[in-house]
Chain A
Amino acid sequence: MKNQLIKIITVFCVAILMSCQNQPELVKIKGNQIAIDSNLTKETSLEEYIKPYRNAIQKEMNRPLSYTKKAMFKTDHPLNTAIGNMMADAVFEMANPILKTRYKNSIDAVLLNYGGIRSGINKGVITTKTAYNIMPFENMVVVAELDTEAVKDLVNYLVDNQIAHPISNMQLQLKSNGELGDFKVNDKPLNKNKTYFIATSDYLLQGGDNMDFFKEAKSVYEIDSKLRNLFIDYFKKHDTITATSDQRFVKIQ
């Protein structure tokens, strides 16, 4: 009995000694990284777990929303293109009713950016995937209220760049020397007593693509819709997309 007690206490003491006096110290650190590639097999149970999610996404992505007879690429024409016009017109058509009901104002024009057209659209069926391809980012639609001076800066930006930034409800005519000949917004010349409601993306509003004139916005109205979702709704509304390059931004040769 006595021996047993000593044994127990001894074990206890060893444990204390090990933990107090002999807590091991850090002596070496090794670091590296391992590539995740096809040399590794796919763990089966996880793969099975992912499958229904993947299938549901694929099904939704392949859902037909609309149709186009022609392929559309942002490089089709120099100053305005079918795909860019379609995108800017879609923003005008889908966001204007929201601005009207929510803020009692109307969109005067739309400006997006050429770089923001992330893919072309092939001829044939337009699916949810198409909307993800042309707009993979999460940017929101916003409306900036600009005074005449800021709108002039916007026009100068387009004149200086001479690339097919998507616009809607604006007309720019350049002279053969590249200078601005004529400009209309909402079919009218600029009126210095009016402010203009320009729909765009939150990326450009924050000065993306050096569109600094948006930083001069007197107010900003949130539409609370992602650009991509707006395009999806636009495709659902129109069973055929017939957008073409037109006269909204041209250079007189």
Chain B
Amino acid sequence: MNRRTFINQTIKVSSLVGLSSVVHPMIWEKSYDKHITILHTNDVHSHIDPFPQNHRKFPNRGGVSRRYSLIQQIKAKNPNTLLLDAGDAFQGTPYFNFYGGELEYKLMSKMGYQASTIGNHEFDNGIDNIAAQLQHAKFDLLNANYDLSNTSLDGLVRPYQIYEVEGISIGVFGLGIELDGLVSKKLYKETQYLNPVEVAQDQVKILKQDHQCDLVICLSHLGYDYQSDKISDIKLAEQTQDIDLIIGGHTHTFLDKPSKVLNQAGKITLINQVGWAGLNLGRIDFYFSHNQEQGVKDVVIEV
């Protein structure tokens, strides 16, 4: 084969690519090369049916089959969508008392959830029940800061998972709250709680450096913020770097908009939490473009 021809061809192609990338942002200002949608819930607490019509605070709000309609609508417009949950899917209605979480996990699987994490209420029927209910889950249960090696969840829970969506690799890891004092030891058994900040730093290194993930998302059941020194999503964001989004839970926090927190690298980590009981669906859209102009490195955050 003629080497010169090969180089010529290559140069032609690369100059074409170069040209298009210069022209591209000028012609289509509002178009992006890739668009990833992250949908999320937290603390659904077995609220499969909407609240009753006469409910004092949330009349006729929520409901799994309505949530599924919304998810389908969003996915129809952007199939490049991940569906995530930040724990406490269990406990709160007779659906849990009667079926132990089976229906919660089956419905999450049917709706197409990719991942959830372990909330403290997942332990309400004991850690062995979580292991038993996982047979109904077609999604990943992620946690990185519980050492589960001496429990029935050993091998069933992964610290992180990487999802490839449209060539964008999204690393997702899970963090759980300290169980001592919150959950009876009889229920969590030999689960060992590890420092969430240290674990998060390790996870980010694995996802960002080793696996070159384009996005890093933390599914956290630590809680949004506390008066005390207790570790929270806000503190986690401040004390780490390279986490793009923390999807939080536990404190049932309603936010007007996602919180922007300055992280260790001086960049923004977003935190979002959408109350509880499936009252809301959180939505975060990430837009990617080729060949940003030099110097224009700041990500525009519209919240």
Contacts and interface: CB of A to CB of B under 8 A. Distances in A.
Interface of A: 2, 5-6, 9-10, 13-14, 17-19, 22-38, 40-44, 46-47, 49-50, 53-54, 56-57, 60-61, 132, 138, 202, 222
Interface string B85-110: 00000010011011100010011001
Q: Which 3 A-B pairs have the closest CB atoms?
A: A24-B288, A42-B65, A40-B66
Contacts of A22: 17, 21, 290-291
Interface residues of B, number: 73
A46 B257 CA distance: 30
B230 interface: no
B70 A34 contact: yes
B288 A26 contact: yes
Which residue of A22, A36, A43, A47 has the most chain B CB atoms within 10 A of its CB atom?
A36
Nearest to A224: B186
Interface in B158-206: 167-168, 184, 186
A28 B290 contact: no
A60 B1 contact: no
Interface in B2-36: 2, 5-6, 9-10, 13-14, 17, 21, 32-34
A28 B299 contact: yes
B69 A6 contact: no
B6 A6 contact: yes
B289 A24 contact: yes
B110 A36 contact: no
Contacts of A42: 63, 65-66, 69
Nearest to A228: B97
B65 A47 contact: yes
A38 B287 CA distance: 30
Contacts of A19: 167
B214 A26 contact: yes
Interface stretch (B133-141, B144-152, B233-241, B276-284): B276-284
A32 B107 contact: no
Nearest to A10: B9
B122 interface: no
Nearest to B285: A30
A10 B257 CA distance: 47
A33 B103 contact: no
Contacts, number: 175
Interface in B265-287: 270, 272, 274, 278-287
Contacts of A36: 50, 61-63, 66-67, 70, 278-281
Given A22-B291, A27-B300, A29-B284, A35 B107 contact: no
Nearest to A58: B94
A53 B103 contact: yes
Contacts of A26: 214-215, 244, 286-288, 299
Contact of B272 (A31, A46, A222): A31
A8 to B, nearest CB: 11
A31 B302 contact: yes
B276 to A, nearest CB: 12
Prevailing SS type, chain B contact patch: mixed
Contacts of B17: 14, 17-18, 22
B64 A50 contact: yes
A92 B168 CA distance: 61
B49 interface: yes
Given A22-B290, A36-B67, A54-B49, 18 more contacts: A13-B10, A19-B167, A25-B288, A25-B289, A28-B286, A28-B301, A29-B270, A29-B300, A31-B272, A31-B302, A31-B303, A32-B257, A33-B281, A41-B69, A46-B64, A50-B107, A53-B48, A53-B99
B57 to A, nearest CB: 13
B13 A14 contact: yes
Nearest to B93: A57
B72 to A, nearest CB: 7
Contacts of A30: 284-285, 287, 301-303
B1 A31 contact: no
A50 B65 CA distance: 9
B255 to A, nearest CB: 8
A116 B77 CA distance: 48
Contacts of B264: none
A9 B72 CA distance: 40
13 contacts: A10-B10, A17-B13, A26-B215, A28-B300, A30-B284, A30-B287, A31-B270, A31-B272, A31-B302, A32-B303, A35-B279, A138-B91, A202-B184
B70 A23 contact: no
Interface string B248-263: 0000000101100000
Contacts of A46: 64-65, 68, 107, 110-111
Contacts of B285: 28-31
Contact of B287 (A6, A27, A32, A49): A27
Nearest to A138: B124
Given A26-B286, A31-B303, A43 B72 contact: yes
A34 B62 CA distance: 11
Nearest to A44: B65
Nearest to B5: A6
